[in-house]
Amino acid sequence: MSDSTSSNVQPIPRSAHDRAADSRASGLRAIALSALIVAVVAGAVNAGVAAAAVALGAEPTGPLMPLAYLTLTVVGAIGAAVGWFLIVRRSQRPALTLRRLVPSVLVLSWIPDIVLGFIVNTADGWLTVAALMVMHVATVAVAVGAYSWMMPPAPSTGTGSLDARER
């Protein structure tokens, strides 16, 4: 083959379907990898929180059992990764949406913990509640870090300050 023939070869244009399939695959990879990172790191942190709570006198039963908190950490990591991905992809202002949604979901996640505290209403029961609330904060912190890294929201457009509509 001569040099003149090889220079005339044009790359085959990719179809919109091929680009969409690549985008879906990369989205699924980002969701899976970021959820795995969160599940492993937050699971380890939550194990430390549970161990500390038990060392302080909480009963090592129910929500402080590894099967309970690790299962919920994994389920939460997957669900949150999917939610984060959808917001980043579909929201007109993903950073603003996440800035509002993440703390709201964290506070809502404490409601069952607080209800548990009132049901049990003992000192070690409230210690368990405190441990669960710390687990939620730790998991959210790990998740925000991982998801921001793996699925960053689009940068804001404009001057960088929020206008009245976005506050």
Read off the DSSP letter of residue 53.
H
For the chain, the helix, strand and coil percentages under 3-state DSSP, each to the nearest 5: 80, 0, 20
Backbone dihedral angles phi then psi of residue 157, each to the nearest 5 degrees: -100, 160
How confident is the model at residue 124, as a pLDDT? 87
Sign of the dihedral through C-alpha 59, 133, 78, 75:
positive
The answer for residues whose C-beta is within 8 angstroms of residue 62's C-beta and 6 or more apart is 68, 128
How confident is the model at residue 98, as a pLDDT? 96
Strands (E), 42-114: none
pLDDT in tens, the chain (167 residues): 555 555 676 666 655 444 444 555 688 999 999 999 999 999 999 999 999 999 999 999 999 999 999 999 999 999 999 999 999 999 999 999 999 999 999 999 999 999 999 998 888 899 999 999 999 999 999 999 999 999 998 876 544 444 444 44
How confident is the model at residue 26, as a pLDDT? 85
List Cα–Cα distances, 67 to 43, 59, 72, 143, in angstroms.
Answer: 11, 15, 8, 20
* CA 38/CA 127 separation, integer angstroms: 25
pTM of the predicted protein model? 0.79
From first CA to last CA, the distance across the chain in angstroms is: 64
Q: Can you read off the two tokens belonging to residue 136?
A: 């939620």
